[in-house]
Chain A
């Protein structure tokens, strides 16, 4: 079981320091593990960054990797989660010829059915935004690709865990000392 390869979400709370990306990615690199997606942003705590990474590894491997991430001086705490333990989303943008929007009614239906949102329209192109699960975005991509996509980009996964991660408590504990 522990050796089955699965997608794991890694959440890392860190100080906001230059070079930390290099330090963390090196831990994956030296084990020859590809990072499927990566997102870095502010967190719920002022001055603390939150990273979300997706990797395909075994639980055996991810446990060791989390230990090695966690011991980096500027990492406050690192966690790994299985898919069912998180609520997660991705976001994507499509750039498509405007003429298609008017010439082909089917495209309008695709947009409506997928809950995608038109961000901007001009004479030449329109931009479509869609947030959701990876498979929803994949599906929309397949549907739109038949008509021609001028540009496509997808964000890294961001995830919120169902369980608490108690970072504020860790930081408060340090302050008390």
Chain B
């Protein structure tokens, strides 16, 4: 058998297998780390990954969903394409949540799945599933490969599509026979596809019109989103904000594009955002939306959203223009190019009087909400004071990876960020279980940065098995579980809108520190205020991974809050 194989190789010495080609394509695209889980239909690729382990570091996650979220964390912090790999059937279907998350949050990711041999397609073969059909609505592009010779071009397209224009996830499904087949390998990168316009052309007319409106407005408000970060437009954005002197608010996907401490940064918009930017959305005379898509969690009731204002929308994706909010001027293009063009046309200004309004409303929010969150006088610990301690010891230099729910809103509201690409969270899809694996990817992409995962006790248990990945791959992430023994956000809604009928939201939890110990991860549990600061300090100073459980008040609510269906100006402080 061995002799036979050698002869076979000799006869075809110019040719390589489809599976080797997959790995060579990844290397050619500059991929250094991939996340995945092996299985029957992807084994030939894993065999090649074994041979090329000096070039590509494969991280074995504990579940394919974890592989996708790790790839997302890697992509979000670095701006590079994240890669996840899985086998056919259940391996492939386990990628779906991560794909959907990456699709709605515009995260560049390439997923590669093995598939049964092409002769078996459609026959209900063992571990056969139509992953191309299943993943179609949650991918920017997907494709099935049944011939080895198609692998280089399809993978080159996959990387180009994932990262160009508005980024997104791509899934490539490769049949097992295509992985075995030998062919002449040649790789060239893709730089264009005739049916695909990643970035619409800039239109000078709309830029000039936008500049005019900006110059003549008295009470302008900027709301920026992740488009600023994805377009690498942080510098242009800061220049634009500083030159125009316009107060700027962020969506949770956009935070960290400029530092939280910037004097013109007026906080977060949306359901649990800050009081001032939400209230004043309905008072401004000009709303300048930059790289954001007017998500319903941002706008509240559309019938009473910024109706008094003119609206300018800087946007890369034409399908987002007028989708939720009718705008007066759309400036199509990526944020970097558009802002570069508009900056010379806008007047240098300051809006002191208008800014005072933001300050006044912030004072109200501080007295009614923030003070109690950060410096509570009651006995139970608050989530806010944990974030305050994290800020104290990381000075705003850490990347904060949050999951979904109350803790996420608290983390986004109170975390300090000095640097872009520092807030990694599941925004659009709201995927519980995102944070732990995403933190793994973020830490591996940027080992020099402090990465702190802030997770609720519910979401933590959705992907808790990835502690195994942290242990095996020695990833020094810091994990903070804010434990209120509840699915807190759902409980909050039950309290406010369902007469306190707490249907299936109370959690009887295991001893989390014992579980961490089982994975040989140093751990600590804090139940009293006087122990909190030292515990956070110990966690941040640790060179290795560290697990910190903080038992917080069981029935705290997150405020401010715009109730579902209400207007942004109906934001509640209690």
Contact = CB atoms under 8 A, between A and B. Distances in A.
A63 interface: yes
A174 interface: yes
B323 A19 contact: no
B195 interface: yes
Contact of A174 (B142, B194, B320, B322): B194
A164 interface: no
A76 B194 contact: yes
Interface string B178-213: 000000000000001111100000000000000000
Contacts of B140: 73
B142 A19 contact: yes
Contacts of A14: 195
B141 interface: yes
B512 to A, nearest CB: 38
Nearest to B194: A174
Contacts of B144: 18-19
A73 B196 contact: yes
Interface stretch (B98-106, B130-138, B477-485, B543-551): B130-138
A68 B320 CA distance: 9
A105 interface: no
Contacts of A70: 318-319
Interface stretch (A22-30, A88-96, A140-148): A22-30
A19 B319 contact: no
Nearest to B133: A22
Interface string B134-166: 001100111110000000000000000100000
A75 B137 contact: no
Contact of A19 (B136, B161, B194): B136
A171 B194 contact: yes
Contact of B317 (A15, A23, A26, A71): A71
Most A CB within 10 A of own CB, among B141, B142, B143, B194: B194
A74 interface: yes
B317 A19 contact: no
Nearest to B132: A19
Contacts of B195: 14-15, 73-76
A14 B133 CA distance: 18
B141 A73 contact: yes
A32 interface: no
B115 to A, nearest CB: 14
B241 to A, nearest CB: 29
Interface in A154-177: 171, 174-175, 177
A124 interface: no
Contact of B193 (A67, A71, A73): A73
Given A14-B195, A74-B195, A63 B136 contact: no
B192 A67 contact: no
Given A64-B319, A71-B318, A174 B136 contact: no
Interface residues of A, number: 22
A175 B195 CA distance: 11
A63 B140 CA distance: 20
Contacts of A75: 195
A177 B140 CA distance: 24
Interface in B304-320: 317-320
A23 B161 contact: no
A155 to B, nearest CB: 26
A127 B195 CA distance: 41
A171 B318 CA distance: 20
Contacts of B142: 19
Contacts of B323: 64, 67
Interface string A61-88: 0011001101101111000000000000
Contacts of B137: 23, 26, 30
Nearest to A13: B195
Given A23-B136, A26-B137, A73-B141, A177 B319 contact: no
Contact of B319 (A23, A67, A74): A67
B119 to A, nearest CB: 17
B297 to A, nearest CB: 19
A19 B133 contact: yes
Interface in A1-49: 14-15, 18-19, 22-23, 26, 30
A69 B374 CA distance: 47
Interface in A75-134: 75-76
A73 B322 contact: no
B294 to A, nearest CB: 13
Nearest to B317: A71
Nearest to B320: A67
A28 to B, nearest CB: 11
A86 B141 CA distance: 31
Contact of B322 (A22, A63, A74, A175): A63
A73 B161 contact: yes
Nearest to B161: A73
A15 B141 CA distance: 13
Nearest to A76: B195
A68 B319 contact: yes
A23 B132 CA distance: 10
A86 B143 CA distance: 34
Given A23-B136, A70-B319, 12 more contacts: A14-B195, A19-B136, A30-B137, A64-B322, A67-B318, A67-B320, A68-B319, A70-B318, A71-B317, A73-B193, A76-B195, A171-B194
Interface of A: 14-15, 18-19, 22-23, 26, 30, 63-64, 67-68, 70-71, 73-76, 171, 174-175, 177
29 contacts: A15-B195, A18-B144, A19-B132, A19-B143, A19-B144, A22-B133, A22-B136, A23-B136, A23-B137, A26-B137, A63-B322, A64-B322, A64-B323, A67-B320, A67-B321, A67-B323, A68-B319, A70-B318, A71-B318, A71-B319, A73-B140, A73-B193, A73-B195, A73-B196, A75-B195, A76-B195, A171-B194, A174-B192, A175-B194
Top 10 closest A-B pairs, CB basis? A67-B319, A174-B194, A76-B195, A73-B141, A26-B137, A73-B196, A71-B319, A22-B136, A68-B319, A23-B136
